[in-house]
Amino acid sequence: MPVALLNYLDRQMMATMRDSVIESIPEFSSSKNPQEMWGIMLGQFKWVYAFFSLVGGAIADRFSRRWTICASLFAWSAITWWTGHVQSYQELLWARSLMGVSEAFYIPAALALIADYHPEATRSRAVGLHQMAIYLGVICGGFGGYAASHYGWRWAFITCGIIGMLYALPLAMLLRDSPKILGLDSDSLHSDSKSSWASSFLTLLRNPSFLLLVAYFTLPAMAGWVVRDWMPSILKERFGLGQGASGVTATLYWQLAAIVGASLGGILADRWMRRTERGRIYVSALGMAMIVPAIFGVGNAHDVMMAAGFLILFGLGWGFFDCNNMPILSQIVGANHRATGYGIMNFVSISFGGLADWGFGRLQDAKVPLNVSFGLFALLAIVSIGLVLRIQVRSRDAQESPWQ
C-alpha cells in the first residue's frame, strides 16, 4: 500500500503544480500553444507507460513479482528525484518518459501478487485496499499546489524521490512471491510449463471475454485521466481558485469518495459472488452507472460546490469499478496470465488516456465548451456498461488453474 501511494503521488504532483512548473520552464512562456504542450507532456508519460506495461506484466508472470515491484519502486523514485532538477521542456519530457518506463512495471505485478495470495472470497476487498492507497496518493498529490507555493515544486519531487528509494530497501527484504505461483507447493507446475511470451499474448487475445474487459477498462479510464490530470486547471480557470485550492478541490472530494467506493464495492462484490459468479461484473457495472451522470454533471457544473458534488459521485462509481478489474480478470484467465493480461489492459487503456490528455488540450486551446468535451467521455462510459455485461466468466475450478 505505501508503494501504491507513492506511485500515484509522484504522478499527481505534476498536475497540481502545473503553474509553478510552467513558470520555471522557459519554453512554455514562449509558446503559442502552452496547453497543448502540457497535454503532450502528460500524454508522453502515458504512451511510454502503456507500452512498457506489456513488458512489465510479462516479466512479472515469468520471473518474480516481488523483484519487479521493488526494482520499479527504486527506479521511479530515482527519476522523481531527478525531475526536481530539470531545467528545460526537453528534459521534462525525458523525465516523464523515464517515469513512464519505471512505473509501468509496478501495477500489473502488484495486483497479480494480491490475486495470488487472496482467493475468491477476499479478492475484491484486498484489491480495494490496494486501490485505496492509490487514492490517498492522489489526495496527497492534490496538496502539491500548496507545497509548491511554500517550498517550490522541485523540493516536493526531490523529497518524494528520496523517500521512495529508501523504502525500496526494506520492501525487498519483507515482500515475498506466492509459493503457489512459484510452483513450490504444487506438482502440477513443471519447469518446462511456462509458455513463451508470444504464446501467452495469443492465448489472451483469443479470449473474447478478455477483449471485452480490455475495452471496458479503457473507455471510462479516458475520462478518469482527464479528471485526474486536468481538473485542477479547469477549476482554477473556471471558478477563479488559487493553485493550491484548485489542486485540493480537484482531488480530495472524489478520491475520498473513491476510498468509500472501493471499500463498499469490494465488500458487496465478494458477498454477491456467494450467489452468482457474475457478482463482480454486476457491482462494476453499477459503479459505471454512477460514473455516467457524474461526467455529464462535472462538464455542466455552474459553481465549485456543484462540481465537487458530481466529483464525489464520480469517485464512488470509480471505486466500485476499480476494485473489481483484477478480480474479474482472474475469473476469465489463468493465474500465470494475470500480470500479462493486466499489462495489456494498461497498454490499451493508458494509450487512449494519453490521446485523451492531448485531445483535451487541443479542445481547450480551440475553446470547445467543457460540457461538450465531457459529454463525449460520458457517452463512452455508457457504451462500456454494455461491454462488461457481455463478459463470460469461467467455472470456479478453472479460475484457480495457473494456465487455463
pLDDT < 50 positions in the chain: 182-194, 403
Domains along the chain with CATH numbers: 2-173+198-399 (1.20.1250.20)
Query: pLDDT at position 72, please?
Result: 95
State how far Cα 341 lies from the chain centre: 15
Calculate ∠ Cα 355-284-16, nearest 5°: 45
Query: pLDDT at position 147, please?
Result: 76
Query: pLDDT at position 214, please?
Result: 95
The span from the first CA to the last CA of the chain, in angstroms, equals: 30
> Three-state secondary structure along the chain?
CHHHHHHHHHHHHHHHCHHHHHHHCHHHHCCCCHHHHHHHHHHHHHHHHHHHHHHHHHHHHHCCHHHHHHHHHHHHHHHHHHHCCCCCHHHHHHHHHHHHHHHCCHHHHHHHHHHHHCCCCCHHHHHHHHHHHHHHHHHHHHCHHHHHHHHCHHHHHHHHHHHHHHHHHHHHHHCCCCHHHHCCCCCCCCCCCCCCHHHHHHHHHCCHHHHHHHHHHHHHHHHHHHHHHHHHHHHHHHHCCCHHHHHHHHHHHHHHHHHHHHHHHHHHHHHHCCCCCCHHHHHHHHHHHHHHHHHHHHHHCCCHHHHHHHHHHHHHHHHHHHCCHHHHHHHHCCHHHHHHHHHHHHHHHHHHHHHHHHHHHHHHHCCCCHHHHHHHHHHHHHHHHHHHCCCCCCCHHHHCCCCC
Closest Cα partner for 294 from 316, 313, 315? 313
Calculate ∠ Cα 139-142-146, nearest 5°: 135
